[in-house]
């Protein structure tokens, strides 16, 4: 990206003043090196977002931003319904509520290293992964409706998990306002036998070691100790979420014209929050969030079963579960007053700071855990939300490394089998049903996650707590 025309606010924040149809400024987070690596399309897309009706404050991008559908991935924007604010399926994304949850084992790395090969094979057999992967769970219509309404709470009622898990999940495991009736028969059919599966793309289950502690007090409070092993699960709402996005984008393209909304890009198809289509999408999208929460809850149960057989002394306590691709109704202070807003976070993580009333008691003193997934074979991070993040980007932070090249480009550059062998030589065991998928997710296809996290930390969006390094990666 050409930095010409960007006003530096600090070493990690840049402003594009409103021009043309922009209603608010665009603010891009990241140091100059990260921004130069970004495609110019990121700049174009976030400026387009700033033209949408009812947008409040600014349109933001996180340090891991890259080109996406309509909104850039790593884009954040909030809309006020009383000002004609809109909701955009492209501002949520196709993989609704794609997110990360991290489990604590309480075990030292040496204990897991001793059975690493057996553990990798057992997890690969137990966790369905890959394009079109299916599990052993098959939902009928009534069960599907209950799952879409209940999220992780429904999964717990089916025997998947522990009651205390719900306190460590955003929305306490169930997104209110879900309307399963707005989820089409096609979307339901696609999800019928995909519960408890990772899927493909950048989804994974990783066994990781805590390689460095950057905030000892917070790490201790959260049960993170250097040298201990954790497990992170990254996945979302699978085919159901993708189908919801596909269908509503078509309807929103028509709705925008009907409501006189001028779109700078058809991919920004949207509808007023208080319109029939806007309310219908909110109900379907919230059901998609519940699908993702239930899916990660089932995967947690399957993971605990494997550890229970091979490492029965592992505690497998849930640290936290965060979502990336959502639109949530929240109250934020903008322009000196508290306002009810609908915050789109596409490839961005909610990052409430210390004292926020929506946080569980365990995190009120420290701020919300912010779980940053790396690319295959590279580090991941645990961060904490900050108080100043509220004023910087409505309590939002990065979500991962962010792609540096397309999957097509990655396939041309790397071979999956060779990558698996190279990573094994570095002590990372990769298990995947698709060598093509491995090539697409090559570590070199992504930005430097450490640089992204450092920029996030320096900007004040979230602060560093612990760095994680992979030991085993089950790849979709």
Question: Tokens 């779109």 correspond to what residue?
Answer: 263
Catalytic residues: 399
Residue whose C-alpha is closest to residue 296's, from 324, 332, 331: 324
Mean pLDDT, range 174-193, rounded to an integer: 97
Mean pLDDT, range 106-129, rounded to an integer: 96
Q: Distance from CA of residue 149 to its chain's centroid? A: 21
- Residue 403: predicted pLDDT: 86
- What is the phi-psi region of residue 69: left when phi exceeds 0, alpha when psi lies from -120 to 50, beta otherwise? beta
Phi/psi for 61 (5° steps) reads -125, 145
- Residue 156: predicted pLDDT: 98
At how many degrees (to 10) do helices 276-310 and 116-126 cross? 140
pTM of the predicted model over 0.95: yes
Mean pLDDT, range 179-192, rounded to an integer: 97
Which CATH topology does 7-475 take? tRNA-splicing ligase RtcB (3.90.1860)
In which band, very low, low, confident or very high, does the pLDDT at 405 lie, cut at 50, 70 and 90? confident
pLDDT above 80 for 66: yes
pLDDT above 80 for 132: no
Q: Contacts by 405-410 with C-beta closer than 8 Å and gap 24+?
A: 405/445, 407/440, 407/445, 409/445, 410/439, 410/440, 410/441, 410/442, 410/444, 410/445
- Residue 310: predicted pLDDT: 98
296 HSE (CA, 13 A, CB side): 37
Mean pLDDT, range 368-381, rounded to an integer: 93
């Amino acid at each position: 990206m050409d930095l010409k025309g960007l006003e530096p606010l600090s070493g990690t924040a840049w402003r594009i003043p409103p021009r043309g149809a922009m209603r608010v400024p665009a603010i891009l987070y990241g140091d100059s090196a990260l921004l130069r690596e970004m495609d110019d399309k990121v700049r174009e897309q976030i400026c387009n977002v700033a033209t949408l009706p009812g947008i409040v404050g600014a349109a933001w991008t996180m340090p891991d931003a890259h080109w996406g559908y309509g909104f850039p991935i790593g884009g954040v924007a909030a809309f006020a319904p009383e000002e004609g604010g809109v909701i955009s399926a492209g501002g949520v994304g196709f993989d609704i509520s794609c997110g990360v949850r991290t489990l604590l084992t309480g075990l030292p790395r040496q204990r897991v290293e001793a059975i690493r090969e057996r553990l990798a094979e057992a997890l690969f057999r137990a966790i369905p992964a890959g394009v079109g992967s299916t599990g052993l769970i098959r939902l009928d219509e009534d069960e599907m409706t209950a799952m879409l309404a209940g999220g992780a709470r429904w999964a717990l009622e089916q025997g998947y998990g522990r009651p205390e898990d719900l306190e460590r999940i955003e929305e306490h495991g169930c997104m209110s306002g879900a309307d399963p009736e707005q989820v089409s028969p096609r979307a339901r059919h696609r999800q019928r036998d995909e519960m408890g599966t990772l899927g493909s793309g950048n989804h994974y289950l990783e066994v990781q070691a805590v390689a460095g502690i950057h905030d000892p007090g917070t790490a201790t409070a959260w049960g993170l100790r250097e040298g201990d092993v954790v497990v992170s699960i990254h996945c979302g709402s699978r085919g159901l979420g993708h189908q919801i996005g596909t269908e509503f984008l078509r309807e929103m393209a028509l709705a925008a014209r009907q409501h006189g909304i001028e779109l700078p890009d058809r991919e920004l198809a949207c509808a007023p929050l208080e319109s029939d289509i806007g309310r219908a999408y909110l109900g379907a999208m919230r059901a998609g969030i519940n699908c993702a929460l239930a899916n990660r809850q089932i995967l947690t149960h399957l993971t605990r079963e494997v550890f229970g057989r091979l490492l029965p002394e592992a505690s497998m306590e849930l640290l936290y579960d965060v979502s990336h691709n959502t639109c949530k109704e929240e109250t934020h202070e903008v322009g000196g007053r508290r306002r009810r807003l609908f915050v789109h976070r596409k490839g961005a993580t909610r990052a409430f700071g210390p004292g926020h009333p929506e946080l569980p008691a365990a995190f009120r003193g420290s701020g919300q855990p912010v779980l940053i997934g790396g690319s295959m074979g590279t580090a991941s991070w645990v961060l904490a939300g900050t108080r100043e993040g509220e004023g910087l980007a409505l309590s939002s932070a990065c979500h991962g490394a962010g792609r540096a090249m397309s999957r097509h480009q990655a396939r041309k550059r790397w071979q999956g089998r060779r990558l698996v062998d190279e990573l094994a030589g570095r002590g990372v065991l990769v298990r995947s049903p698709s060598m093509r998928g491995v090539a697409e997710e090559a570590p070199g296809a992504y930005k430097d996650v450490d640089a992204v996290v450092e920029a996030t930390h320096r900007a004040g969006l979230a602060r560093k707590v612990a760095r994680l390094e992979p030991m085993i990666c089950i790849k979709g």
